[in-house]
């Protein structure tokens, strides 16, 4: 593994050194002007490309130098479903790239996301949530509703991740949280070490407002992370659903709150605004401190859940803290 990590670190240094060259060549930017945006100059959207480059390097290295079947890396049962999964990641990257470049309407984004999710759920049983395992209750089956429930979880997580990607360090903090989960569980350790390194480069660039994740990243990355959560959940009896939920609860609440708030206000749920939790916090704190406050609502409950248990109570505490922040800093 030491050779892989050394290679990945060197490749990321190369990206860093020649970053301005890549920015000019790839030429995708997020421009200011939209009333919901808080940056004042155009910012490159290379974040998703940085992660994809690292992921592809990991897969190629595993295949060429370690003779690992790349179709077995993610815990799937057959090569065909693994191929479809990897192809879906690339397809979501392309859709996101096109969206970054020319813009796609919300209905087309939802349509493409829905088709890709459904195909993977239907052909890959490991991506199907059929048993609900909770820390505070007996496991139970939802076999008749498993496809619908899995599809809904994917769609909500991808959209929540996209909603959450609003200020510097916020999406990166969530990715770090996911990495910590898999490190702690010792599942897909090598892969998430690569993601951790890629995220560290992204944090450095994102903190300086040199790049954003972009839709080229915020489509396929949550699909990938969500898939690995479900795969590990189905392949490991000790993982329960609510300890995964604790990592996703804050983005999830932001999505649900804004969805119903926009419906109540008779506006489209897909029309962006400046009513996310981070928009409220940056009225009182710096962008960095706002991101740290939000991430602490995830990291602290997760760490506590692994050492003291009582995940259900921690989920309630997370929810109360989230709505307390909304109430306190809304005006």
* Per-residue model confidence as pLDDT tens digits over 151-200: 999 999 998 888 777 777 888 989 999 999 999 999 999 999 999 999 99
Residue 38: pLDDT band with limits 50, 70, 90:
low
Output the average pLDDT for the chain.
88
Q: Which of 2-6, 125-129, 269-273 has the highest mean pLDDT?
A: 125-129
Cα gap 21→49, rounded to integer Å: 14
Residue 35: pLDDT band with limits 50, 70, 90:
low
By CB atoms closer than 10 A (0-12, 13-18, 19+), residue 260 is exposed
pLDDT on residue 91: 95
Pick 122 or 162 by higher pLDDT: 122
Question: Is 47:95 a contact under the CB 8 Å cutoff?
Answer: no
Taking phi first (over 0 means left), then psi (-120 to 50 degrees means alpha), and beta for anything else, what does residue 67 get?
Answer: left
Helix (H), strand (E) counts: the chain: 14, 4
pLDDT on residue 151: 94
Cα separations in angstroms, 188 against 107, 141, 224, 228: 34, 26, 12, 9
């Amino acid at each position: 593994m030491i050779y892989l990590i050394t290679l990945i670190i060197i490749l990321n240094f190369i990206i860093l050194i020649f970053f301005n060259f890549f920015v000019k060549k790839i030429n995708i930017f997020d421009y200011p002007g939209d009333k919901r945006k808080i940056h004042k100059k155009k910012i490159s959207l290379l974040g998703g490309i940085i992660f994809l480059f690292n992921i592809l390097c990991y897969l190629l290295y595993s295949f060429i130098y370690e003779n690992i079947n790349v179709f077995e890396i993610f815990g799937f049962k057959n090569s065909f479903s693994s191929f479809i999964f990897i192809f879906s990641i690339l397809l979501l990257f392309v859709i996101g790239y096109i969206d970054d470049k020319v813009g796609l309407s919300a209905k087309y984004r939802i349509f493409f996301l829905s088709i890709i999710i459904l195909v993977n759920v239907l052909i890959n049983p490991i991506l199907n949530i059929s048993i609900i395992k909770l820390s505070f209750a007996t496991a139970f089956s939802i076999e008749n509703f498993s496809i619908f429930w899995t599809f809904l979880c994917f769609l909500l997580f991808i959209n929540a991740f996209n909603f959450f990607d609003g200020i510097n360090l916020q999406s990166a903090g969530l990715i770090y949280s996911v990495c910590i989960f898999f490190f702690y569980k010792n599942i897909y350790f090598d892969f998430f070490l690569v993601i951790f390194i890629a995220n560290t480069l992204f944090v450095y660039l994102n903190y300086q407002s040199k790049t954003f994740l972009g839709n080229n990243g915020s489509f396929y990355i949550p699909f990938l992370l969500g898939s690995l959560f479900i795969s590990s959940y189905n392949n490991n009896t000790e993982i329960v659903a609510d300890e995964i939920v604790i990592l996703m609860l804050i983005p999830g609440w932001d999505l649900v709150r804004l969805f119903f708030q926009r419906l109540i206000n008779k506006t489209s749920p897909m029309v962006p605004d400046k009513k996310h939790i981070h928009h409220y916090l940056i009225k009182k704190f710096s962008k960095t401190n706002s991101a740290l406050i939000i991430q602490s609502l995830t990291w602290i409950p997760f760490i506590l859940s692994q050492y003291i248990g009582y995940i259900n109570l921690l989920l309630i505490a997370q929810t109360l803290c989230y709505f307390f922040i909304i109430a306190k800093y809304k005006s």
